[in-house]
Amino acid sequence: MAREIKFSLVYRDMWQSSGRYQPRVDQLVQVAPAIIDMGCFDRVETNGGAFEQVNLLYGENPNRSVREWTAPFHKVGIETHMLERGLNAIRMYPVPADVRELMFKVKKKQGTDIARSFCGLNDHRNLKLSVEYAKKAGMISQAALSITHSPVHTVDYYMGIVDKLVEYGTDEICLKDMAGIGRPTVLGQIVSEIKKKYPHIKVQYHGHTGPGFSPASMLEVARAGADYLDVAVEPLAWGKVHPDVITIQQMMKADGFLVKDINMDAYMEVRRLTQSFIDDFLGYWINSSNSLMTSLLVGCGLPGGMMGSMMADLLGFKDAINAAERAHGQAVSSLDTLMVKLFNEVEYVWPKLGYPPLVTPFSQYVKNTALMNLFNLASGKPRFSTIDKDTWGMILGKMGKLPGELAPEIVEIAKEKGMEFYTGNPQDMYPDELPKFRQMMKDEGWDCGEDDEELLNLAMFERQYRDYRSGVAKERFNKDLEALKEKAGAPKVVTRPVVEMPEFDVNAYVAKYPKATPVQAPAKGQLLWEVDVQDDSKAPVAGTAVKAGEPMGYVQTWYGMEELIPAVSGHVVAVTGKQGKEVAKGEIVAFVQE
């Protein structure tokens, strides 16, 4: 009997892979019905990762976003899932245990069904509390293996982690192939071993397409017994993101699996809306190279999810590196040359740092070290002259145990700096903090919010939350957007204030004065309409003398200004007038030639 394969749409991660920002909640709510109408998804990844932080960077409330975005899926029985980073929860550095526990409670109340929990070091100790807290909150616990390819990341290595996660009580296992460099055969072997040993455990595969392995990997894991596959939709499919659902659905169908049909009308609507979000403003942050696959990623193993930030960092460093190259008589590197150099340097640095899986935040740490090495080499300094504080925290064991051994030269640098290595449970280094943040909320006069969700935001992202509350975040975002638009040569949009008009019934006056007509305004792209209104209150008093030619009442002309909306042809424009207080009660519609 044919076995069913189910699909999960990773809509959150599609955006995270392509740029700094994600759609606003009004846009997400707009696309949700079309995603549902596609009819092929049993799950949708809605939040977690950087989602909440991104909302704060907009200057908007992430709690409203999660609640409104997950609600439509719940109504139709589609499960929602979030991504969280174990010890780091939904931020980039360690989180106290009480804040981690509150996060699961809040996310469940907000409408998230499944917690996908991963540790970037694959240290099962960092996932123990994630499993326990998720289940305690009533969520499905899906513990993830951070997949990569190295001499230490073998099938036995991964099964050792699975054994501990099952012991902790996880409901599911995810193979999080964040860079898409897991070799298909090995991935199939891991899934097969999981299913043999723990047949009750559901398995989900998540693989980026950057280096090109993921479609083959999906076929292998499906044949080995996987239950769910993560997919994307155009225009944010392929490239360094995820395979498109159409291709994977057809591939599975041809291989004999039972798969749900895809409503193509709904698919095209999701595609259209996603493109409209890109055109609106998100495209200004998306690097054009993210739409391209590249085999250069096979060697360095960097994940597609960080390519946007990596290119932005590389561009920011380019001038400094070029200046150092010129000062030391070296050839000046182009951006493409620097990218290849960075990939090669990551490949060199990675084993020296103990083969941490290249996933957030450890991919950033390795990339940062490699980037500083490039700068130091260009400046005539040795490698590892500059290592940031967070990377040292990883090296010293404060975030978990590294999969491999540190290079002797790294250990020697640590000793020279008088640093001590830590071998205990990483969570023990970060004491509880909720009481402190609850007092902060009280001192500021802020409400902790429904289900303590505002308290969670402050405790998880204190700086970003304060910037959101003060309005600084919104101001900064708008300033950054305007700068990017200006750099891209985007047309400037001028918003004119609505003119307040006296209260009157438009329909009544248009009926009374049928000759009221719209006319073309002098300014291109605008329509000026007018309606003559007789005001009998200003008529001469009965019995008084009236001069020849004087009207029995005063006629006043009211004007409204409307923006023209070009039709697809570009020749005809249609305008529906809604100007002033009362015009909304009726509509003045005009069709004019441009």
Angle between helices 125-136 and 97-110 (to 10 degrees): 40
Average confidence (pLDDT) over 161-165: 98
- The Cα 191–Cα 193 span in angstroms is 5
- The Cα 349–Cα 155 span in angstroms is 24
Q: Which of the two residues, 41 and 379, has the higher pLDDT score?
A: 41
Q: What is the 3-state secondary structure (H, E, C) of 175-189?
A: EEECCCCCCHHHHHH
- Beta-carbon contacts of 268 under 8 Å, excluding residues fewer than 6 positions away, are none
Least reliable range by pLDDT among 164-168, 491-495, 521-525: 521-525
What pLDDT score does 567 carry?
Answer: 37
Q: Mark 78-106 as b/e (b = at least 16 C-beta within 10 Å).
A: bbbbbbbbbbbbbbeebbbbebbbbbbbb
What pLDDT score does 233 carry?
Answer: 97
Is 70 exceeded by the pLDDT of residue 569? no
In one letter, which amino acid is 322? Answer: N
- The Cα 566–Cα 145 span in angstroms is 51
In one letter, which amino acid is 436? Answer: K
Q: What is the DSSP string of 530-570?
A: EEEEEEGGGSPPTTS---TT--SSEEEEEEEEEE-EE-TTS
What pLDDT score does 16 carry?
Answer: 76
Number of helices followed by number of strands (H, E) in the chain: 22, 14
Instruction: Report pLDDT digits (tens) over 417-464.
Output: 999 999 999 999 999 999 999 999 999 999 999 999 999 999 999 999
Strand ranges (E), 428-544? 518-520, 526-535
Instruction: Report pLDDT digits (tens) over 476-489.
Output: 999 999 999 888 88
Instruction: Report pLDDT digits (tens) over 5-33.
Output: 999 999 998 887 767 789 999 999 999 99
Question: What is the maximal distance between C-alpha atoms in the chain?
Answer: 110
Neighbours of 151 (CB within 10 A): 10
| Banded model confidence at residue 305, pLDDT cuts 50, 70, 90 | low
| Banded model confidence at residue 289, pLDDT cuts 50, 70, 90 | confident
- The Cα 66–Cα 46 span in angstroms is 8
- The Cα 399–Cα 120 span in angstroms is 9
Instruction: Report pLDDT digits (tens) over 254-263.
Output: 999 999 999 9
What pLDDT score does 474 carry?
Answer: 95
Which residues on neighbouring strands pair with residue 531, listed in sequence order? 558
Q: Which of the two residues, 112 and 548, has the higher pLDDT score?
A: 112
Is 70 exceeded by the pLDDT of residue 500? no
What pLDDT score does 475 carry?
Answer: 95
Q: Global pTM? A: 0.79
Q: Which fold has domain 6-291?
A: TIM Barrel (3.20.20)
> Tell me, what DSSP letter sits at residue 451?
G
In the chain, what are the domain boundaries?
A: 6-291, 296-429, 434-488, 506-593
What pLDDT score does 331 carry?
Answer: 87
> Tell me, what DSSP letter sits at residue 386?
-
